[in-house]
Amino acid sequence: MAKNFTYNRLDKNNAAVLLVDHQAGLLSLVRDIDPDKFKNNVLAVADLAKYFNLPTILTTSFEDGPNGPLMPELKALFPDAPYIARPGNINAWDNEDFVKAVKATGKKQLIIAGVVTEVCVAFPALSALEEEFEVFVVTDASGTFNEIAQKAAWDRMSQAGAQLMNWFGVACELHRDWRNDVEGLAKLFADHIPDYKNLMTSYFALTARKPAAK
């Protein structure tokens, strides 16, 4: 590793979330991850955005066509968030309203997830990097046709400077320290990771049996 490496951590005070084209038609194209797991991961990103109070921007492309409407759960979670329905721009960054919404957050770290990875995620990620934003791609909340397309997109973005993370890693790096809020973070994890829910159930059962401290 180069000696001049700098660990650029996610900062909850300097990050915004971009959810790009999680639309009904496009979701049907995702084959590199199980559909139920994928939906869970997308909603986990949405929930962590709410938990950390991160500015969140929703956008769709050509939703009146075959791409279809945005996931209704996202609309429900973010009723007041900027919602950019792009009439035709494939690259969200080519849409002036979208870029204005991003820059209006005042944040320099962009957490991006979308469908499909090599287009709807990669294009705005590369465009944002070119404008000197820090980009963090949520790999397990972004999907595409197959693993070949997935890996090619990941390589292209990472070589350009994007950091690839899963949603669990994003949440942990934003939180930094369990002592900031144990129950809130544990609930976020338990809501989206069945095994973590089992872990917390076991923990609460054990701690409930402990005698009170004197």
DSSP assignment letter at 23: B
Domain ranges of the chain: 15-176, 178-214
This prediction's pTM: 0.93
List, edge to edge, every strand of the sheet that includes 83-86: 83-86, 56-61, 15-20, 109-114, 134-138, 163-165
pLDDT classification of 212: cutoffs 50, 70, 90? very low
Q: What is the pLDDT of residues 84-112, one digit of tens each?
A: 999 999 999 999 999 999 999 999 999 99
Q: What is the pLDDT of residues 197-208, one digit of tens each?
A: 888 888 777 777
Name 192's Cβ contacts closer than 8 Å, sequence gap at least 6. Answer: 40, 41, 43, 44, 47, 167
Cα–Cα dist 88/60, whole Å: 9
Cα–Cα dist 97/2, whole Å: 39
pLDDT classification of 210: cutoffs 50, 70, 90? low
Catalytic residues: 120
**What CATH topology corresponds to 15-176?**
Rossmann fold (3.40.50)
